[in-house]
Each structure stands twice: as C-alpha cells, then as structure tokens.
Amino acid sequence: MDDMFDVAIVGAGAAGLAAALVLQRAGRSIVVLEARARAGGRAHTFEARGQFPLDAGCGWVHSADQNPLVPLIEAEGLTLEKNGANWGRQSGDHGFSAAEQKEFAEAFEAFDARLAAAAIKDADAPAANYFEPGCRWNGLIDAVSSYYNGAEFDRVSVLDYAAYLDTGVNWRVTSGYGAAVAALAAPIMPRFSCPVTGIDHRRVPVRLATPQGPLEARAVIIAVPTNLLAKERIAFTPSLPDKTEAAAGLPLGTAEKAFFYLEQPEELPIEGHLFGRIDRAATGSYHTRPFGRPYIEAFLGGRNAEDLIRAGEGALSAFALDELSALVGSSFRRRVVPIAETGWGRDPFALGSYSHALPGHSAARAVLAAPVAERLFFAGEATHPSFFSTVHGAWASGIRAAEEALAALPPLGL
C-alpha cells in the first residue's frame, strides 16, 4: 500500500478544508479526497459575464459578530460589506403595502415567540403546529422557512429550529463567500475527481476505496452532506446504521438561486428586496442590485424549488421571471438576461442545499457528530449543534473533528 496517511479527509467543503488546515499545521500527513473537480462544495463563487462574482451557494456571512470566519477573512485582506439584509422589506411596496409589511413582521415575531416557548415546554413537533389557524401570513411565513430551512415548517423540528443561533448580523464578502473559503484553504491540495466509495474500519489502518485506487489512514474524517450518508453512497464496513438514521433525520432541504443581468439597472433599487407573492409559500425572494451591481439574485426554496428542479433546467429562471414581470411590469423580461441558475437538489455530490432536522429528530446532530472507535470522525454543517446549515458551522465542525482526531492519534514520531 503506497498511500498511507495519518488522516484521510473525505470531502473538500468548508468542513473538510478546515479539518485539513488544522491537521496540516499540526504536522500530520493528510490526504483530502474530493468527488468534484474543485474544492469548496456548497461554497462556490463564479464569475458572471467577466464582470462580477456570484455565489452559487453560501453568500451571507451569518451571525457575523460571532462568526469564526470573520477574523480569518479580514486577515486575508478581503473586504466585508457590512450593510445588513433587507429580507423583510418590499422595495417600492410593490403589491405589499407598508401596513401589510408591518402586520407580517408582527405575525412572524409572534410565531417565533410561540416556537421559542414550545421548545422549552413541549415535546418535539413540526414547527407548523404553531401557526395561528387562519392567519393570512402563514403562507409567507412558510416561504421564509423555505429560504431559511430549505423546507416549509411542517418538515422542521421545533427543537432544532430553536437550537439554531442567529444573531441577526449578516454581512457579505465583496469578492464572494465561496472565493473567501477557497482563499483560506489555499494551502490544501485535495485529490480531485476522487469520490470515496467505501470505508473499511474493522481495523487500523482504515482502508478507503476510491476509483483512483485504495488508500489507508489511521483516522478518517467524513465531511460529506447528510443526504449522501442517508443514501449510503459510501459503504461502511461494518455498516453504521446509527449514522445512516441520524443523517436521514437531517435531510438537506432545497434552496436554489437564479441570477439575472439587468440591462437597465436604474429601474430597481440598489440592495432592494421583493417577495414575488405575499399570499403563498411557493414564491421567490428577490435581491435587487446586490453591492450596486447590475443583477438580481432570485432565491427559491422548499417544495416549490424541488418541483422546479425536477422540471429541469430553465424552470427556476422561468418561474422567477414570471414573478418579477408580474411585479415590475410585463415588459421587464425584455430588459433582463438570465445569467445562471443553480441545481443543488440534483447535484450528485450534494443532493440538496442545507440541513434541517425533521420533527422528532433534533437529537440527530449529536448522534451524527459522535466519533466511532477513535478512528472515524464526522464533520459537516449538519453536525454543528447551533450553527448548522451554514458555512461557519461547517468550518467549526471541521476544526472540532480534526481536534478529536489529533487527540486519538499516537504522538508524532511514533
């Protein structure tokens, strides 16, 4: 066996990359195995029309006042845009009057308060159980859940929702959040196009199967999305039914983006926001002219996004353009050019966007995060107890898993 390492890391997303940095700095021999031909996973910035960067995955530096990536991004010399998000507002009050916006905000706040109280006193349940029956804002509240959780509230655990730590401070990286993660992880050289298909952990060294041949490691950090673990895309020997079950309880919901270039940007506000509709969950959230750049970022989630992804390429953009034209005017579509749309829900190495716990499964994050026999360690956004579904949660989970692996390894030189 030529390929023998202290630690093999499966997945070069934020979690795997953070783990690799810790282990490399500790002087350990590592290998990072990545199924794609690029690093970053769900953190991915691409260039649009040779003019500006766009984030296909994470874009917002959530909980920026507590986000462990902020000092690293600043030390890297990258610029953070600290103007907050306008998600709750409707620019120009298009189809959503100021009074209605206030009413909606109050209804959401009351709903959130009911969930917080329920998390203290009630058994776990679907968050949708706490909707006020007949409230006209339930559809729009569910739309927001579809962006926030990737799923409507009937599929979201009350206890898990309450465990999420959101300080409400949201920043952005002007050159892209995905690009920032790539810059931080520049010292790591993964093996690309190298999906791990099997992990035999009956003895140390653990043996990993890949299309590029087998390799061995004293410890393995598994940092792949839950939907792949739930579908057993990596065959563990012996099998790990607790992990499969925990992963199945933490599915990646669906949240997708479509980007449109604006030929007449001045007709929409800089850093503006529009909901497509206010009377149903199946609607988009539209961010106009982010950073003052001439584009719109459409954000669609939940069942609506799942259906559009199933309908095939172009369906997401067509839906968004229909909604925008209904708001801004039918001639609007002649003044925009679709740039790109995501397809995380059909991406074979993600199968979704970010994790939420199903009702009754709030304990699954701790089960998934627990090491196995001091040789298998689990990282990834879904394993973080309070920053799950985010890139900073993924990063922190990678550091935690690397420290667990270091504690289990024999000292250097032995």
Ligand X SMILES: Cc1cc2nc3c(=O)[nH]c(=O)nc-3n(C[C@H](O)[C@H](O)[C@H](O)COP(=O)(O)OP(=O)(O)OC[C@H]3O[C@@H](n4cnc5c(N)ncnc54)[C@H](O)[C@@H]3O)c2cc1C
- Residue numbers at the binding site for ligand X (CB under 6 A): 10-16, 33-36, 41-43, 57-60, 62, 195-196, 223-225, 228, 233-234, 255, 257, 342, 344, 349-350, 353-354, 380-381, 389-392, 394
CB of 130 to ligand X, least distance (A): 25
Q: Which is nearer to ligand X, 392 or 400 (CB)?
A: 392
Q: Which residues of 218-235 are buried (b: 16+ CB within 10 A; e: fewer)?
A: bbbbbbbbbbbbbeebbe
Q: Which is nearer to ligand X, 96 or 253 (CB)?
A: 253
Residues 6+ apart with CB under 8 A from 136: 279
CB of 294 to ligand X, least distance (A): 21
Tell me the C-alpha distance between 61 and 49, whole Å: 24
Q: Which is nearer to ligand X, 27 or 71 (CB)?
A: 71
CB of 11 to ligand X, least distance (A): 3
E strand or H helix at 328, and its extent? helix 315-328
E strand or H helix at 121, and its extent? helix 98-121
**How many CB atoms sit inside 10 A of residue 90's CB?**
20
Q: Which is nearer to ligand X, 150 or 265 (CB)?
A: 150
- Tokens at 291, concatenated: 């950073």
CB of 188 to ligand X, least distance (A): 12
CB of 357 to ligand X, least distance (A): 14
Radius of gyration of the chain (CA): 22
CB of 238 to ligand X, least distance (A): 18
If you search the block for the tokens 């931080």, which residue do you land on? 184
For residue 238, cis peptide bond before it (omega within 30 degrees of 0): yes
If you search the block for the tokens 């989970």, which residue do you land on? 397
CB of 13 to ligand X, least distance (A): 2
Q: Which is nearer to ligand X, 154 or 232 (CB)?
A: 232
- Report the residue closest to ligand X, judged by CB: 13
Q: Which is nearer to ligand X, 44 or 332 (CB)?
A: 44
Q: Which is nearer to ligand X, 18 or 409 (CB)?
A: 18
Tell me the C-alpha distance between 14 and 39, whole Å: 9
Q: Please check whether residue 281 is in contact with residue 142, taking contact to mean a CB–CB distance below 8 angstroms.
A: yes
Q: Report the interhelical angle of 177-184 vs 14-25 (nearest 10°).
A: 20
